[in-house]
Amino acid sequence: MSIAANKLMFKENFDINLDFFKIKPPSLIGVDISSSSVKMVELSQTGNQLYRIERYAIEAMPADAMQDGGIADMEAVSECLRRGWKRMRTRQKNVALALPATDVITKRIVVPAGQREDDLAFQVENEASQYIPFPLDEVDLDFQVIKPVSDHPEEVEVLIAASRKEKVEDRVAAALMADLKAVVMDAEPYAAQAAFELMLRQLPEEGKDQVIALVDIGATTMKVNVLLNGESLYTRDQPFGGNQLTQEIHNQFNLSLEESETAKRSGNLPENYQADVLQPFCETLAIEVIRAIQFFYTSTQYTEVNYIVIAGGCAAIPGLDAVISSRAQVSTLVVNPFAAMEQASGISQRQLNLDAPALLIACGLALRSFDPS
């Protein structure tokens, strides 16, 4: 998301800038820590805001290392980070990390325009104390001026973002144990949106004035972010993901869960897998997407979604976009933030196309190396 830089309100003893909005100078690796894997992306810039993917890695996360978006086994997560970094074959050790949306509290407020930054920071802190259900000394807090208020040019809209310090510190510590240095802490929805905006040119009129549902289908959670002209209208997390497919493979073919996950990824399954397991899963997933969109309609004044864009590991399932499109009666695309990028010679185009939907957040975090202005 193209957001102008802003100064931190709070700094910690460890050496990291804990703001959710500020674009940082080169160079770093975008690191997405999810329940199923660690995804890493390193980009370079080729000029005129064109990018090149230099390298990436996806490293499977041990079972139960992450729980509810938080780190449950610090050693296992840090070891996964270390293995992923080694597979990257890079010298870069600066990383950008992100917190799940459930760990970030956001609130939009309206304040008088033209304030000095120190005065604005003081007012934001006072406002934040009314909305954040924790003492302010237990949170990391950042803010960003978004835009003038319509019909009230003397006022501006400000977005506040805050997270419990312990949530931030856990991810910083995991990176440190892997001999990596966390220099940016973002929020997953912002990172995903930043990467998604790279593919807007694939839509008619670059998606202008179109309501777009960005649906990230991970292992355990389906994350929905409905966007209009670069602004988020609605977000929702639903407890549905690729682990349901793994469980069905386990039930149908008498495999262990680990064997089921491996077979799912390799495609090494009996002939009836497609009809008896995969197709019913895709139909159920489509119903979950429709359910999320219906929640969007009932929670806002909007009554139409123009496009559904799917991301996450499940988005790579062949034909899933067609199933969702048919069920929802909405044009559906599979996200690929690297479609217009150059690729380093060591990257397989075919494999990258398969992996791209799962790399959306990591790509967005890697973009934090570059100032879009």
At 251-286, the pLDDT tens digits run 999 999 889 988 998 888 999 999 999 999 999 999
Q: What is the architecture, at CATH level 2, of domain 202-336?
A: 2-Layer Sandwich (3.30)
List C-alpha distances in Å: 170 to 71, 98, 143.
Answer: 7, 11, 22
Assess whether pLDDT exceeds 60 at residue 15: no
Mean pLDDT of the chain: 89
Instruction: Residue 142: name the closest of 131, 154, 158 by CA.
Output: 158
pTM as predicted = 0.88
3-state SS of the chain: helix, strand, coil percent to 5? 40, 30, 30
CA distance 363 to 224: 18
pLDDT at 77: 97
For the chain, what percent of residues have pLDDT higher than 70? Answer: 92
pLDDT band at 19 (very low <50, low <70, confident <90, very high): low
Q: Which residues pair with 94 in a beta bridge?
A: 181
Residue pLDDT, tens place only, 311-349: 999 999 999 999 999 999 999 999 999 999 999 999 999
Amino acid at site 353 = N
Do 241 and 220 form a contact (C-beta atoms < 8 A)?
Answer: yes
- DSSP single-letter state for residue 287: H
Please choose, from the candidates 214, 207, 205, the residue with its C-alpha nearest in 3D space to the C-alpha of residue 334.
214
Q: Which residues contact 52 (CB under 8 A, 6 or more apart)?
A: 43, 44, 45, 46, 341, 342, 343, 344
pLDDT greater than 60 at residue 35: yes
What single-letter amino acid sits at 68?
D
**Selected residue with higher pLDDT from 332 and 133:** 332
In three-state secondary structure terms, 328 is helix
Q: Is the pLDDT of residue 4 over 70?
A: no
pLDDT recorded at residue 132: 84
Q: Is the pLDDT of residue 80 over 60?
A: yes
Instruction: Tell me phi and psi for residue 141, to 5 degrees.
Output: -125, 140
Is residue 26 pLDDT above 60, yes or no?
no
CA distance 109 to 4: 17
CA–CA distance, 324 with 285 (Å, rounded to integer): 8
The yes-or-no verdict on residue 196 having pLDDT over 90 is yes
Q: For residue 20, what pLDDT band results from cuts at 50, 70 and 90?
A: low
Task: Between 94 and 17, name the one with better pLDDT.
Answer: 94
